[in-house]
Amino acid sequence: MRYNRILLKLSGESLMGNQGYGIDPCRLNSYAEQIREAALTGTQIGIVIGGGNIFRGLSGAAKGFDRVKGDQMGMMATVINSLALSSALDAVGQPSKVFTAIPMFPIGYPYSKWEAIKALKEGTVAIMSCGTGSPYFTTDTGSALRAIEIEADVMLKGTRVDGVYSADPEKYPDAVKYDSISYEDVIAKNLKVMDITATALCMENNMPIYVFNMDIEGNLAKMLKGENVGTLVS
């Protein structure tokens, strides 16, 4: 097996599927099945989900919301998505446990590194919600932090594009895709992999990031088998 323990970051936006808002049950089910397939190979899987399909603090602030309250609303959105994924995992027979960085038992269990690792070792998918638990951060930073804490071998960032490009491939068709790139180049070239805080945290702690398109079914399994389906940042 290529990796023993992974942290998978899913964006809230991709949970929307083709809808403009909320959760697309087909996309959710596709994620659950891919995660189940990966878990069956013995890979330990931690997950962090965003909340952008429901609420983002920054866009809330632009509409006059208090930024901290807006970010708290965003963190609650990640809990909603995490519960949805946990429920979808149940439906495909994959045990999972939702942890929350902000205590709200019994909606989820209070997050601790050791409880999360205990779940992973038992073959349970650990879904770690609320990002970092603090405002002014993103779930990319939350997932970098959790990947480092749970001692994952790699952080997988599932996106809508199949890796890191020299420019936005949706805007510039001649942009080239990198198979691998350094953290330094990502930051220096201002490539939109993750926010700088998240990338810097991974860099300082030698956490490799693998960027790939999670919306293509089968990509997660291919990646775990060692096929080149994305870009490695290290």
The contact set with ligand UDP (CB under 6 A) reads: 11-13, 50-52, 56-58, 70-71, 74-75, 77-78, 131-132, 134-135, 137-140, 142
Specify the residue, 59 or 228, whose C-beta has the smaller distance to ligand UDP: 59
* CB of residue 77 to ligand UDP, shortest distance in Å: 6
* Burial of 133 per CB tally in 10 Å (0-12, 13-18, 19+): middle
* CB of residue 215 to ligand UDP, shortest distance in Å: 14
Nearest Cα neighbor of 113 from 96, 130, 126, 95 is 126
* CB of residue 70 to ligand UDP, shortest distance in Å: 6
Which distant-in-sequence residues (6+ apart) come within 8 Å of 199 by Cβ? Answer: 144, 183, 186, 187, 193, 209, 233
Specify the residue, 140 or 149, whose C-beta has the smaller distance to ligand UDP: 140
Name the phi and psi angles at 178, rounded to 5: -95, 140
Whole-angstrom distance, CA of residue 181 vs CA of residue 171: 21
Specify the residue, 54 or 152, whose C-beta has the smaller distance to ligand UDP: 54
DSSP β-bridge partners for residue 100 = 110, 129
* CB of residue 158 to ligand UDP, shortest distance in Å: 10
The CB density around residue 231, as the number of other CB atoms within 10 Å, is: 23
Nearest Cα neighbor of 4 from 124, 119, 121 is 121
Specify the residue, 1 or 68, whose C-beta has the smaller distance to ligand UDP: 68
* CB of residue 82 to ligand UDP, shortest distance in Å: 12
Specify the residue, 131 or 163, whose C-beta has the smaller distance to ligand UDP: 131
Specify the residue, 20 or 42, whose C-beta has the smaller distance to ligand UDP: 20
Name the phi and psi angles at 3, rounded to 5: -130, 140
Secondary element (H or E) of residue 98: strand 96-100
Q: State the residue number with the nearest CB to ligand UDP.
A: 50
* CB of residue 57 to ligand UDP, shortest distance in Å: 3
**Residue type (1 letter), 142:** G
